[in-house]
Amino acid sequence: MLNDQPARRSTPELFIEPGWPLSSLRTTEQCDKARDTLVTAIAKMRARFAVQKNAMAGGGFDEERAFRARQALRFKKQALQRTTEIRAKLARSEKIEGQDRRILDILRAMVPEAFAAAIKEARERYPEIEWRT
């Protein structure tokens, strides 16, 4: 390895379901849908575990399959935890953005000339930003 550092194990991308990665969550509404999907998936997995437990007693137990199932459940639980964390972060930022928007709306109504001058100044200072008109 470079610089004699041990290799780091990278964390696998967590998925809510196939084709729906956690990295795609951008709103609290998406997080709520993801949470519902994950809770349902976890409940179904637990029900399957109960059936497998009965199969173990009957001798029809596959150790490798059970290992994969436990690992899948662990990943779903991790995805649920991360979804909760992402939602909390998004909710805080949405609250702040909502407060900022309300303050700007009040300023626009109270002092429209100053507000227009501030918008003009912002466009001149930051030409790289695409400003809404």
Task: Give the mean model confidence (pLDDT) for residues 119-124.
Answer: 89
Residue entry with tokens 């967590």 = 14
Please tell me the predicted confidence (pLDDT) of residue 66: 78
More confident residue, 40 or 108: 40
Please tell me the predicted confidence (pLDDT) of residue 1: 43
Model pTM?
A: 0.66
More confident residue, 128 or 50: 128
Joined together, the tokens standing for residue 37 give 């999907």
> Would you give the distance in Å from CA 112 to the centre of its chain?
38
Please tell me the predicted confidence (pLDDT) of residue 6: 53
**Distance between CA atoms of residues 43 and 90, nearest Å:** 26
Report whether 45 contacts 75 (CB < 8 A).
Answer: no
pLDDT in tens, 8-55: 556 678 999 999 999 999 999 999 999 999 999 999 999 888 777 776
Task: Give the mean model confidence (pLDDT) for residues 67-91.
Answer: 92
Q: What is the mean pLDDT of the chain?
A: 85
**Distance between CA atoms of residues 38 and 32, nearest Å:** 10
Determine the residue type at 72: A
